[in-house]
Amino acid sequence: MQEQLTGTIDSIYTKMVNTKYGEKPVYHAMINGFDINLGFKNPYAEGETVTVTVENGKYGYELAKNPQAGATAITAPAQPTGPSVGPNRAPPAPDFPVAKNTKGITIARQNSGGHASRMVTALIHEGIIKNETEAMRVFFEFAYQITDFATGHREVKQAEAIANYEGK
């Protein structure tokens, strides 16, 4: 189902994705609290007032590839409020840093655990780690470091430490 969104572009940012042609940026715009996937090309600028036709794609709202006349207007920002969030609405969330107590953290921890496991396995095969206790200690150290990095919490902690140091 296509919908029409009118508003001012609050911000534009990119996400890097792997394609068969290598890593490419995908543009996103925040419009009235909605995160809109613009695709590989960005014809818009921050602060511009736009009317765009969007549809709910695999990863949330994206520009409609074949806009049709008569798309219904989106009137309110998508605010998740429990059961009232419709199946065609992806609740907006900042991508970075990943908010704590969200599905994104769970996914990041699972991903980090997999990477940490491969790293520890390599260290065991190289003879650097020789016992289970050391393997577990290094696994958790790697997993937590990778999770902090992947979620953006490393930078948040660093900014808090600098602010505390400067007395702010």
The ranges assigned to domains in the chain are: 2-73, 103-165
| pLDDT at residue 168, as a whole number | 62
CA-derived radius of gyration, the chain: 21
| pLDDT at residue 73, as a whole number | 67
Crossing angle of the two packed helices 132-151 and 103-125, in degrees rounded to 10: 140
What is the mean predicted confidence (pLDDT) over 15-30? 86
Cβ(108)–Cβ(147) under 8 Å?
Answer: yes
CATH no. for 2-73? 2.40.50
Compute the distance between CA of residue 74 and CA of residue 128 in angstroms, rounded to an integer.
Answer: 58
DSSP state of 19: E
pTM: 0.44
Whose tokens are 């534009």? That residue is 12
